[in-house]
Amino acid sequence: EIALAKMGEIKKRIDELEEERNQKLRHDILERELNRYKAISAANKLKVISSQKESKESTLHSVTAEITTFDGERSVLRTEIGTLESEKSKLMAEANDYTQAKSALDAEIATAMEQ
C-alpha cells in the first residue's frame, strides 16, 4: 500500500513535470514567434524609412538643381542690371550735356538779341 502511494506520488510528480515542460515549450515557441514578428515589423519600418529617405534625397536634388538654375539666372540679371545702370548713367550725362549746351545757346541768343 505504501508502495502504491509512492507510485501515485511519483506519477503525479511526473505529470506535473510534463505539464511544466509543455508550458516551457509553448512559451519558447511563442517567444520565437514574437521575435519573428518583431523582426518583420522592423524590416517593414526599415523599408518605409528607406523609401522616405530616397524621396527626400530626390527632393533635395531637385531643390539643389533649382537653386543652381536660379543662381545662374540671378547672375545674368545682375549683369543686365549693371549694363542698364551704365546706359542710364551715359544717357543722364548726355542729357546733362544737352541741357548745358542748350542753356549756353539760349544765353548766346539772348545776348545777340539784346545787341
> What pLDDT score was predicted for residue 75?
98
Share of the chain above pLDDT 70, in %: 100
- DSSP E strands, 1-115: none
What is the H or E stretch that residue 53 is in?
helix 2-114
C-alpha cell at 66: 533649382
The arithmetic mean of pLDDT across residues 102-108, rounded, is 95
> What pLDDT score was predicted for residue 78?
98
- Report domain extents, the chain: 1-85
In the chain, what are the helix, strand and coil shares in percent, each to the nearest 5?
100, 0, 0
Please give the model's pTM, rounded to 2 decimal places: 0.58
- The count of C-alpha atoms lying within 13 angstroms of the C-alpha of 70, restricted to the half-sphere facing its C-beta, is 6
Identity of residue 71: D
